[in-house]
């Protein structure tokens, strides 16, 4: 049985490239990236672990 899975182009982690982020709502730095690409290609989607609010970070 063959199963095709979508493979995302992955060339490893981008260690050291991500700036230190903090939640814009509660200023916590307990944030987690939930999506590499949001509705727009130039944003990352993050969620705050502290207040669970999603927010976007503009990719530079
Ligand atoms: Zn927060």
Tell whether 13 is covered by a domain.
Answer: no
Tell whether 8 is covered by a domain.
Answer: no
Tell whether 10 is covered by a domain.
Answer: no
Task: Say how many Å lie between the CA of residue 2 and the centre of ligand 1.
Answer: 43
Tell whether 14 is covered by a domain.
Answer: no
Task: Say how many Å lie between the CA of residue 20 and the centre of ligand 1.
Answer: 14
Quote the number of domains for the chain: 1
pLDDT in tens, the chain (60 residues): 677 776 655 455 555 555 678 999 999 999 999 877 656 678 888 999 999 999 988 877
Q: State the pLDDT at residue 39.
A: 60
What pTM did the predictor assign?
A: 0.58
Q: Burial, 44: exposed, middle or buried (Cβ in 10 Å; 0-12, 13-18, 19+)?
A: middle
Tell whether 59 is covered by a domain.
Answer: yes
Tell whether 29 is covered by a domain.
Answer: yes
55, containing H or E segment:
strand 54-58
Calculate the CA 29 to chain-centre distance. 14
The boundaries of the domain holding residue 43 are 20-60
């Amino acid at each position: 049985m063959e199963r095709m899975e979508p493979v995302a182009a992955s060339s490893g982690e981008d260690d050291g490239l991500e700036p230190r982020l903090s939640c814009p709502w509660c200023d916590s730095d307990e944030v987690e990236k939930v999506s590499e690409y949001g509705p727009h290609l130039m944003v990352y989607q993050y969620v705050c672990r502290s207040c669970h609010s999603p927010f976007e970070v503009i990719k530079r």
